[in-house]
């Protein structure tokens, strides 16, 4: 009755487990609903971010276009000046005269005209700024900060506007480093007055030239301070964002340099930050021009930002807005939506739980009644199984996934030294001890993981002697596909193993006796069969053949010459060359060997292996003309071993080949007489696994072996 009560408790526990599972499923549904809500809200946020990406991108593109137009406008003014015919004529004559200004027609008048032309152009195009410095004393020279200069082909100033800066090392290197025939830009730098300054170089080509680098006769150097005429172009017309700003940056070694005025009042060229500053918008967007994302700005505030490159300049334009200002309305809307959906899910979940609890109580009562009936049936079946298994001479035991015994017959109890009923509920370790449990538990674990039955054999050393046990492990599956336990069937096969070993021992002794008979009749080939068997076994092991294959090669090699008992002894002991008839008789003896052992039962195809030893890989052998894979692998192995032993073994009438010569002979026969694999395995064994040392005695003459 205790077992029935226990089963009833387990059954009720299963019902409660199902109730708990159902409750868990309801909770899982609620959690999935919350996840879905969060994903929906996240998708809304993603759509809002995409809209801001478009808005910021439009502004960034328009401001970048304005900056490009400013740059192009500077070159347009310089290009118009460079196309002036008088200027081209003057520089062309100067170039043709080798730089001698005295050779230029009406040089003084032309120089004065060009000076006035530069001054007018500078004032009209913005390349003119008031000279900096106090003008108190007439002999104190004021500092030039902007202007235009006409350069000859060698980069020397011919004419310049009054405010033109001196040609310092920076400007000099810029002029010298510019490529002939090409425009150049000296990027923003702090000029003599400390203000952001930029320089342009416009080539001038000879009159009637083809505008090739060789036609350049001079250049216009233009220097100007960068101020509102550029920076105002960064402002978006009709700006409504308080935190919206557009600024220019460039990469300078390992830092980001801010080129334009910043919203916090920082003047241009007065702020630099390290490129590896965490989440810095300027650093990230310099590396990924045209990108968009959430970054930190130069003040550490979280912003949405995008960037655009400026063609022809190493500048990147960044457009940003504070994340708080951009997404404040969206965040409020998403929070409201999230809270509302949470409340809806909570109400629906509570309603479902109430209905489910009412239905569960009714199901539990009905399940309890059904379980009572099922338990009675289960007890009847269990008693029947015990009667059936107790009548068997083998031990039966079933364990669950945790290794606890669920069922055991009387033989299993006898093995454990206790009653079968006492085994139920115990672990294998507690019932059978550590020595016997380790291998069983390992096998059970593999069966549970793979879901496939397996069989193992183990040897137990007991006080009464050796005991060999075969254990079958069969997975027990529930209604689904999961393995819920393992049925173990333990069978004592000691007598069977002992009988097999005795039979194998007798068979080996018989084989050795047969080999000895052949050796006595053929003294010239003494030990040949034993050596072939030894070499064939080594090759089979090197090829990782199974135990039956290795044994077949061994026995076939030992018995292949058994048929020589039918060959006249005078033929076997003949030292001169054999006649064709005698040679055919010796070859036929191999088939006689196969016929003699045809009725003997071996674990492998020994007789058929011997019958196929003289077959060749290319089909030219005998007796059946088999080829390639048609020939048994064991026969291919013994054929190589037989050839090797025959070549390296010394005879009374000739010495044996060296191992190297034999190896060459075998290799030359691969693909025709021999299979490549056993030949390669033999050579590998010789060179790597000590075969040369092990078989060195094969080359000793027969008489030396007898001493």
Asked if pLDDT for residue 707 goes beyond 50, the answer is no
What would the pLDDT profile of 625-670 be if each residue is shown by its tens digit?
Answer: 999 999 999 999 999 999 999 899 877 667 888 999 999 999 999 9
Q: 3-state SS of 24-88?
A: HHHHHHHHHHHHHHHHHHHHHHHHHHHHHHHHHHHHHHHHHHHHHHHHHHHHHHHHHHHCCHHHH
CA dist 540 and 637 (Å) reads 7
CB atoms within 10 A of CB 524: 15
What would the pLDDT profile of 183-215 be if each residue is shown by its tens digit?
Answer: 999 999 998 888 999 999 999 998 887 889 888
**Portion of the chain with pLDDT greater than 90, in percent:** 36
Q: Which residue has the higher pLDDT, 131 or 327?
A: 327
Whether 134 is in a domain gets the answer no
Shared domain for 290 and 433, answered yes or no, is no
pLDDT score at 498: 63
Helix axes 528-542, 676-688, angle to 10 degrees: 100
pLDDT score at 643: 92
Residue indicated by tokens 């009725």: 599
Whether 644 is in a domain gets the answer yes
Structure tokens at 546: 């199974």
Shared domain for 481 and 530, answered yes or no, is no
Asked if pLDDT for residue 275 goes beyond 60, the answer is yes
Residue 516: which residues within 8 A CB-CB, separation 6 or more? none
Q: What is the mean pLDDT of residues 37-53?
A: 82
Instruction: Give the up-direction half-sphere exposure of residue 612: CA atoms within 13 A in the CB hemisphere.
Output: 23
Shared domain for 323 and 406, answered yes or no, is no
CB atoms within 10 A of CB 254: 9
Least confident of 310-324, 435-449, 530-544: 435-449
Instruction: Quote the domain boundaries for residue 612.
Output: 498-705
pLDDT bucket at 383, cuts 50 / 70 / 90: low
Structure tokens at 180: 């002939």
Residue 351, Cα to own-chain centre: how many angstroms?
Answer: 49
pLDDT bucket at 3, cuts 50 / 70 / 90: very low
What would the pLDDT profile of 596-612 be if each residue is shown by its tens digit?
Answer: 888 788 888 999 999 99
Q: Which residue has the higher pLDDT, 31 or 230?
A: 230
pLDDT score at 106: 73
Shared domain for 482 and 518, answered yes or no, is no
pLDDT bucket at 373, cuts 50 / 70 / 90: low
Asked if pLDDT for residue 704 goes beyond 50, the answer is no
**Angle 467-469-475 (CA atoms, 0-180°, nearest 5)?**
165
Whether 267 is in a domain gets the answer yes
Q: What is the mean pLDDT of residues 284-296?
A: 93
Q: Which residue has the higher pLDDT, 270 or 579?
A: 270
Whether 135 is in a domain gets the answer no
pLDDT score at 361: 66
Shared domain for 647 and 554, answered yes or no, is yes
Q: What is the mean pLDDT of residues 446-452?
A: 78
Structure tokens at 2: 């205790």
Shared domain for 325 and 441, answered yes or no, is no
pLDDT bucket at 1, cuts 50 / 70 / 90: very low
Conformation bin of residue 225: beta by default, left when phi > 0, alpha when psi is -120 to 50: beta
The CATH code of the domain that includes 676 is: 1.10.3210.10
**Burial of residue 244 (number of CB atoms within 10 Å: 0-12, 13-18, 19+):** buried
pLDDT score at 4: 44
Shared domain for 509 and 632, answered yes or no, is yes
pLDDT score at 384: 61
Q: What is the mean pLDDT of residues 68-93?
A: 90
pLDDT score at 561: 82
Last residue of a domain, one of 459, 492, 525: 492
The CATH code of the domain that includes 16 is: 3.30.450.20
Shared domain for 311 and 443, answered yes or no, is no
State which of 102-106, 407-411, 569-573 shows the largest mean pLDDT.
Answer: 407-411
344, 348, 350, 353: CA torsion to nearest 10: -160
Shared domain for 284 and 379, answered yes or no, is yes
CA dist 121 and 462 (Å) reads 115
Last residue of a domain, one of 473, 492, 511: 492
What would the pLDDT profile of 99-156 be if each residue is shown by its tens digit?
Answer: 676 767 777 777 888 889 999 999 998 898 765 554 444 455 567 889 999 998 888 8
Whether 131 is in a domain gets the answer no
Domain count of the fold of the chain: 3
Q: What is the mean pLDDT of residues 309-321?
A: 94
pTM above 0.85, yes or no: no
Whether 403 is in a domain gets the answer yes
pLDDT bucket at 259, cuts 50 / 70 / 90: very high
Task: Using alpha carbons, select from 251, 213, 202 the residue that is nearest to residue 73.
Answer: 202
Shared domain for 423 and 544, answered yes or no, is no
Last residue of a domain, one of 457, 492, 527: 492
CA dist 476 and 367 (Å) reads 25
What would the pLDDT profile of 429-440 be if each residue is shown by its tens digit?
Answer: 667 766 677 777
pLDDT score at 74: 92
- The residues that bridge with 306 in the sheet, in sequence order, are 292, 319
Q: What is the mean pLDDT of residues 452-457?
A: 79
pLDDT score at 313: 93
Residue 625, φ and ψ in degrees, nearest 5: 65, 35
Least confident of 2-16, 152-166, 337-351: 2-16
Mean of pLDDT over the chain: 81
pLDDT bucket at 484, cuts 50 / 70 / 90: confident
Whether 132 is in a domain gets the answer no
pLDDT score at 138: 46
Whether 522 is in a domain gets the answer yes
pLDDT score at 705: 44
Residue 168, Cα to own-chain centre: how many angstroms?
Answer: 58
Shared domain for 405 and 538, answered yes or no, is no
User: Is 474:453 a contact under the CB 8 Å cutoff?
Assistant: yes
pLDDT bucket at 318, cuts 50 / 70 / 90: very high
User: Is 663:643 a contact under the CB 8 Å cutoff?
Assistant: no
Shared domain for 479 and 538, answered yes or no, is no
pLDDT score at 135: 45
């Amino acid at each position: 009755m205790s077992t029935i009560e226990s089963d009833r408790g387990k059954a009720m526990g299963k019902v409660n487990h199902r109730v708990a599972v159902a409750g868990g499923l309801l909770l899982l549904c609620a959690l999935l609903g919350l996840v879905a809500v969060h994903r929906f809200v996240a998708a809304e946020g993603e759509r809002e971010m995409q809209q801001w990406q478009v808005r910021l991108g439009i502004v960034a593109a328009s401001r970048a276009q304005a900056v490009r137009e400013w740059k192009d406008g500077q070159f347009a003014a310089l290009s118009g000046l460079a196309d002036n015919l008088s200027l081209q004529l003057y520089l062309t004559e100067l170039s043709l005269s080798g730089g001698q200004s005295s050779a230029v027609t009406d040089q003084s008048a032309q120089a004065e005209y060009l000076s006035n032309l530069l001054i007018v152009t500078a004032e009209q195009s913005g390349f003119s700024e008031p000279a900096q410095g106090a003008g108190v004393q007439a002999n104190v020279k004021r500092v030039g900060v902007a202007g235009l200069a006409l350069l000859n082909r060698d980069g020397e100033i011919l004419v310049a506007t009054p405010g033109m800066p001196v040609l310092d090392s920076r400007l000099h290197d810029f002029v010298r480093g510019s490529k002939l025939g090409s425009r150049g830009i000296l990027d923003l730098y702090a000029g003599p007055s400390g203000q952001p300054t930029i320089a342009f170089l416009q080539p001038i080509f000879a009159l009637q030239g083809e505008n090739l680098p060789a036609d350049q006769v001079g250049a216009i150097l233009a220097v100007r301070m960068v101020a509102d005429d550029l920076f105002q172009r960064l402002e978006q017309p009709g700006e409504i964002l308080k935190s919206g700003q557009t600024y220019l940056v460039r990469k300078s070694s390992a830092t980001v340099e801010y080129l334009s005025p910043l919203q916090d009042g920082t003047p241009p060229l007065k702020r630099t930050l390290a490129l590896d500053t965490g989440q810095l918008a300027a650093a990230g967007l310099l590396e990924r021009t045209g990108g968009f994302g959430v970054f930190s700005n130069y003040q550490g505030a979280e912003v949405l930002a995008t960037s655009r490159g400026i063609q022809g300049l190493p500048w990147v334009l960044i457009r940003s807005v504070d994340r708080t200002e951009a997404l404040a309305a969206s965040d409020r809307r998403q929070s409201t939506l999230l809270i509302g959906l949470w409340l809806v899910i909570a109400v629906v979940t509570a309603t479902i739980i109430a209905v489910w609890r009412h239905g569960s109580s009714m199901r539990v009562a009905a399940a309890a009644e059904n379980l009572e009936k099922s338990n009675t049936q289960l007890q009847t079946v269990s008693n029947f199984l015990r009667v059936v298994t107790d009548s068997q001479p083998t031990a039966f035991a079933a364990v669950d996934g945790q290794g606890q015994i669920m069922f055991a017959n009387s033989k299993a109890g006898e093995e454990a030294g206790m009653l079968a009923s006492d085994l139920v509920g115990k672990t294998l370790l507690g019932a059978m001890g550590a020595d016997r449990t380790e291998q069983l538990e390992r096998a059970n674990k593999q069966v549970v993981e793979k879901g496939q039955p397996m069989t193992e054999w183990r040897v137990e050393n007991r006080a009464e002697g050796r005991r060999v046990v075969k254990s079958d492990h069969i997975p027990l599956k529930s209604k689904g596909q999961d393995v819920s336990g393992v049925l173990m069937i333990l069978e004592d096969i000691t007598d069977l193993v002992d009988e097999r070993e005795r039979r194998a021992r007798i068979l080996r002794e018989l084989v050795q006796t047969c080999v000895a008979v052949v050796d006595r009749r053929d003294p010239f080939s003494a030990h040949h069969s034993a050596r072939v068997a030894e070499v064939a076994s080594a090759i089979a092991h090197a090829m990782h053949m199974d135990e039956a294959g290795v044994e077949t090669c061994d026995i076939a090699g030992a018995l292949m010459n058994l048929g020589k008992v039918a060959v006249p002894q005078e033929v076997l002991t003949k030292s001169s060359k054999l006649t064709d008839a005698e040679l055919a008789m010796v070859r036929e003896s191999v088939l006689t060997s196969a016929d003699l052992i045809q009725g003997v039962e071996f674990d492998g195809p020994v007789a058929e292996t011997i019958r196929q030893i003289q077959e060749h890989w290319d089909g030219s052998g005998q007796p059946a003309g088999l080829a390639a894979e048609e020939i048994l692998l064991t026969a291919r192995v013994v054929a190589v071993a037989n050839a090797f032993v025959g070549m390296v073994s010394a005879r009374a009438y000739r010495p044996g080949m060296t191992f190297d010569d034999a190896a060459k002979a075998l290799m030359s026969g691969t693909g025709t007489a021999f299979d490549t694999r056993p030949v390669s395995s033999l050579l590998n064994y010789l060179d790597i696994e000590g075969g040369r040392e092990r078989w060195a005695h094969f080359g000793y003459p027969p008489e030396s072996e007898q001493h």
